[in-house]
Amino acid sequence: MTVGAIPLSARPAPSTPQQWWTLTTRMIAPTLANGELATQIIGSIVFTVGFYLPLKNILGAVQPMSSYAQYLTPLIVVQAIFFAAVSAAFRSAIDALQGINRRFRAMPMAALTPLAARMTASIYRCVVALVVSLACGHVIGFRFHGPLWHTVGFIALTLLIGAALALVGDLIGAATRNPEATAPLLLVPQVTLGLASVGLQPVERFPGWIQPFVRDQPLSQFLNSMRALAGDSTPAAPPVTWSVIGPALAWVAGIVVVFTWLHARVAARRP
Amino acid sequence: MSLINETSLLTARILRRWSSDAATVAQSLLFPAGFLVALNVVLGDGVKRVTGTSALYGSVPLVSLIGATSGAIIVAVGVMRERDDGLLARFWVVPSHRASGLLSRLLAEAVRIVVITSFVMCVGLLLGFRFNQGFPQAVAWLFMPTVFGVAFSAVVMTIALYAQNTLVPQATEVIAAVMFFFSTGFVPLDQFPKWLQPFVEHQPCSFVVEAMRGLSMGGPVLKPVLGTLLWSAGIAAIIAVPLAVGYRRASRRD
């Protein structure tokens, strides 16, 4: 027998769910104390009133739906889950920078458990973002008009989009290891895609050269699907058909596949 | 004399660090550029219909300010990291002027904001923005975002020195978003609800935008410039002591 070897009976038997749960609470618990949750709530409120009040007159007149609140709220929801992805990126960059990921790899733990825990925490952030932004939307006049399963579909699709965005944010954090750059780095797609989408005004209102981009970019596809699932009191909302929902689901699936693959590559990199 | 030498040395250190980080440079310049183009595409038409003048005279200043404020996080996180690495404590025991560390950071911010404003100005000129008032006014225009931007950066740095890690980036974004949405650079004043107009008119971002509008397109200059200076001086007066104390504390942490 080798001197110093730990007998099998004395070795701990680590359980993957247990490890996942421990790492998940490690991500979630601080958000209650350090103000992350509070800023997320305030951020959603700011984006709601910030888009709604100034633009209600100037753009409310040119959109087809019953009210500008009904038209705008999907964009507010998407911006809120984008915020959640920024948080995910920041946390992931700090973990990568401080070497805790490297430490995890030396532990008896499945390779994807830390990522799974970070993703669970991201879903938690998305749920918070969704609840807060829908509450904000409700205040300005947004309502669900479709049957119940449309509403359920709206929530499920939003969380799927949130998970995909969080995966992107997490990768950016882990790959750059630069917490100071993550928030501004994600601000670029958040703002430019947000403005150049059908979120604020219909595609016909854009100059001709940019219309194809505005119509086909992922954010517009997400917004179309969410508008369809939310419905409207007038028939102006897009119909719930595969040709409306399909592109959004395809974008989500594509993002998840590509970024999981990139994650595996970054995780395999020697620090 | 030593204060000037040391401050310029430390400023050069920060600027070198900043300019060698290609990702940060690219995004601090490309983000405002993309943002300006997007803003112009989305709102340019609507604003022109309402006011009769080009929206660029409000949106170019606004985007310069957004570039200035959203970049403030870089200096804040930099301070937090150098505090945790012990570099600040190291500087503290070097025989240099106590104020040089803090002054150099603010000076680096001023340089950063002038660079960003110049870049946004170039993009604006491509889109049709013009200086109609003359050369001295154009020079004054270029430095308006710096006046307020440095004061804003000082606030963010102070928050960073006292608060915990993750709060700072998001809190900054929220503050910047409020100032951006509720300013006269976004849409004209009369587009806001009546009860909100006094706030929109008198918040610092609107003063800077209106000052810059006056200096480029034409219109009142004195009142918005005074407003900008008063806001910046007021913020500086409130923040000076907490900032100095916080920086000292961060430098003496073991």
- Taking only the tens place, the pLDDT of each residue in B115-149 is 999 999 999 999 989 998 889 999 999 999 999 99
Structure tokens given for A163: 């998970």
Query: Of B127, B170, B189, B199, which to mutate for an interface test with A (greatest number of A Cβ within 10 Å)?
Result: B170
Query: Of B35, B174, B187, B191, which to mutate for an interface test with A (greatest number of A Cβ within 10 Å)?
Result: B174
DSSP, res A239:
P
Query: Of A26, A32, A53, which to mutate for an interface test with B (greatest number of B Cβ within 10 Å)?
Result: A53
Inform me whether the C-beta atom of residue B171 falls under 8 Å from chain A C-beta atoms.
yes
pLDDT above 70: percentage of residues in chain B: 96
CA distance B178 to A37: 18
Cβ contacts of A50 on chain B, cutoff 8 Å: 177-178, 180-182
- CB atoms B181 and A40 under 8 Å: no
pTM over 0.95: no
Burial class (CB in 10 A: 0-12, 13-18, 19+), B197: middle
What average pLDDT does this structure show over B205-234?
A: 92
Cβ contacts of B25 on chain A, cutoff 8 Å: none
Residues 24-53 of B with CB under 8 A from A: 24, 27-28, 30-31, 34-35, 38-39, 41-43, 45-47, 50
C-alpha to C-alpha distances, A12 to A16, A36, A106, B118, nearest whole angstrom: 12, 35, 15, 61
Q: CA of B156 to nearest chain A CA: how many angstroms apart? A: 13
List the domain range (segments joined by +) for residue B124: 2-251
ipTM given for this complex: 0.74
CA distance A36 to B167: 6
- Total count of domains within chain B: 1
> Residue B100: what pLDDT?
87
> Is pLDDT of A167 > 80?
yes
- CB atoms A34 and B24 under 8 Å: no
- Taking only the tens place, the pLDDT of each residue in A214-259 is 999 999 999 999 999 998 888 888 888 888 899 999 999 999 999 9
> Residue A226: what pLDDT?
93
CA distance A256 to A247: 14
> Is pLDDT of A2 > 60?
no
Cβ neighbors of B229 (< 8 A, separation 6 or more) are: B147
> Is pLDDT of B166 > 80?
no
Domain edges within chain A: 16-268
> Is pLDDT of B19 > 60?
yes
Q: Where are the alpha helices (DSSP H) in chain A?
A: 16-33, 36-60, 68-98, 100-105, 113-140, 148-176, 179-195, 211-216, 218-230, 242-268
Question: Contact, B79 vs B104, CB < 8 A?
Answer: no
CA distance A222 to B157: 37
Q: Where are the alpha helices (DSSP H) in chain B?
A: 2-20, 22-51, 56-85, 87-92, 100-127, 135-162, 167-181, 197-202, 204-216, 222-251
> Residue B101: what pLDDT?
86
Selection from B233, B253, B235 nearest residue B243 by Cα:
B235
